[in-house]
């Protein structure tokens, strides 16, 4: 729990990883890509405060003890959601596969959820694996990487006909939260494969699912905002927005937050630290303390205490059916966290 100025915040970190990018896990013949991927991730960490920077060796593979200290002991996180990322073309056991993430569930009972993944290019075998993962872990969400390489293929989209059986299976199984990486590229993946335009198509076609656009499509923030405001089931995942911009690019961060609050709304924004790229502590504390830097941002909605509580945990808790203790809840007049009807322009919004 994090408490500041008499206010208590329930923090649900919606974007965590427990990865292994050490050389021992690199696929033979693919070392340049495995090495380049983790070095690109490591470069992103430099956008955070210098005191939080790690050596490349520590960054490649951190321990369960490191995770506990950084996330739960020091990081103010009450609950977290692992977002699984496979990349088995470059990493033997996967970069951050569901089994790696799930290895921490027993150590922190009730404090972690694990999301699965799917890739439509895997066909029937992929559908069977999704069913098996759901049966084992009780999945409420998946993380999709549309730019992931598979053989000679260097990406896919949610518009592909092959994605339909997977989206329909998610509906059937009650896996309602579809997280999609749509943001800054990571070498050697292709930038165009992270475009947000396929989310629009899928969100309209599957209104019972929630589409969480991780990293809000950066650098395509306008494309994302104008799409998300017309799609009530599209949410903004703030990983990278906070970690990558709040410290290193404070004025751009203020613009991005202002655009999100105006177009998407405080009910549809989810905090995620993107650990282990960035530690959650400075991000949580920074968000609670943050405000617009000057009056040039006066046409954006205010960053209120209610908005902070929703974004830091209450919105994600609603999407994942997490029971929030009474002391952290908002009064009725503060609105319903994760409400879809926040995605509309109303008079007096600014």
Specify the pLDDT at position 336.
87
pLDDT at 350: 40
> Could you report the per-residue pLDDT of 141-171, keeping only the tens digit for each?
999 999 999 999 999 999 999 999 999 999 9
| List of domains in the chain | 2-342 (3.20.20.140)
Residue 348 has a pLDDT of 43
Burial of 335 (0-12, 13-18, 19+ CB in 10 A): middle
DSSP string covering 293-347: SSGGGTTSPP--HHHHHIIIIIHHHHHTT----GGGPPPGGG--TT-GGGSS--T
Look up residue 65 and give its two tokens: 């003890």
Question: Tell me: the pLDDT tens digits for 257-316?
Answer: 999 999 999 999 999 999 999 999 999 999 999 999 999 999 999 999 999 999 999 999
- 8 A C-beta contact, residue 337 and residue 10: no
Secondary structure class of 198 (helix, strand, coil) = helix
pLDDT tens per residue, range 110-128: 999 999 999 999 999 999 9
Task: Give the three-class secondary structure for 82.
Answer: strand
Taking the CB of residue 147, how many other CB atoms lie within 10 A of it? 20
pTM, to two decimals = 0.95
> CA-CA distance, 64 to 20, in Å (whole number)?
12
Rounded to 5 degrees, φ, ψ at 349 are -65, -40
Confidence of residue 184 (pLDDT cuts 50, 70, 90): confident
pLDDT of residue 48: 98
**pLDDT tier at 342 (50, 70, 90 boundaries)?**
low
CA dist., res. 43 & res. 56, Å (int): 9
Looking at residue 263, its pLDDT comes to 95
Compute the average pLDDT of residues 325-337: 88
- Distance between CA 34 and CA 16 in Å, rounded? 20
Phi/psi zone of residue 127: left (φ > 0), alpha (ψ -120 to 50 degrees), beta? alpha
Q: Is the pLDDT of residue 346 over 50?
A: no
The DSSP bridge partners found for residue 96 are 85
Q: How far apart are CA 69 and CA 84, in angstroms?
A: 21
Backbone angles phi, psi at 84, to 5 degrees: -80, 135
Encode pLDDT of 86-112 as tens digits: 999 999 999 999 999 999 999 999 999
Q: What is the pLDDT of residue 3?
A: 96
Q: What is the pLDDT of residues 8-49, one digit of tens each?
A: 999 999 999 999 999 999 999 999 999 999 999 999 999 999
């Amino acid at each position: 729990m994090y408490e500041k100025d008499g206010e208590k915040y329930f923090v649900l970190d919606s974007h965590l990883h427990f990865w292994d990018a050490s050389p021992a896990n690199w696929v033979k013949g693919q070392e340049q890509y495995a090495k380049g991927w983790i070095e690109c991730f490591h470069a992103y960490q430099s956008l955070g405060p210098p005191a939080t920077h790690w050596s490349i060796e520590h960054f490649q593979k951190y321990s369960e003890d490191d995770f506990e200290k950084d996330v739960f002991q020091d990081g103010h996180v009450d609950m977290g959601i692992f977002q699984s990322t496979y990349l088995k073309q470059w990493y033997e056991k996967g970069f951050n596969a569901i089994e790696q993430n799930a290895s921490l569930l027993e150590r922190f009972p009730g404090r972690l959820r694990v999301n699965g993944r799917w890739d439509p290019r895997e066909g029937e075998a992929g559908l069977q694996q999704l069913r098996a993962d759901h049966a084992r872990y009780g999945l409420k969400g998946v993380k999709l990487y549309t730019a992931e390489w598979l053989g000679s293929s260097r990406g896919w989209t949610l518009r592909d006909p092959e994605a339909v059986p997977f989206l329909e299976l998610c509906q059937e199984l009650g896996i309602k939260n579809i997280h999609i990486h749509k943001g800054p590229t990571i070498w050697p993946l292709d930038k165009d494969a992270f475009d947000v335009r396929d989310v629009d198509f899928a969100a309209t076609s599957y209104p019972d699912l929630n589409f969480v656009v991780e990293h809000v499509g950066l650098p395509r923030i306008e494309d994302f905002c104008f799409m998300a405001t017309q799609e009530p089931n599209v949410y903004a995942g703030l990983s990278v927005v906070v970690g990558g911009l709040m410290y290193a690019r404070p004025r751009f961060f203020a613009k991005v937050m202002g655009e999100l609050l105006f177009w998407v709304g405080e009910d549809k924004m989810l905090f995620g630290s993107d650990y282990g790229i960035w530690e959650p502590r400075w991000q949580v504390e920074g968000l609670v303390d943050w405000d617009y830097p000057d009056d040039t941002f006066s046409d954006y909605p205010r960053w209120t205490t209610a908005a902070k509580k929703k974004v830091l945990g209450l919105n994600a808790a609603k999407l994942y059916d997490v029971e929030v203790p009474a002391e952290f809840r908002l009064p009725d007049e503060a609105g319903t966290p994760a409400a879809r009807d926040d995605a509309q322009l109303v008079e007096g919004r600014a």
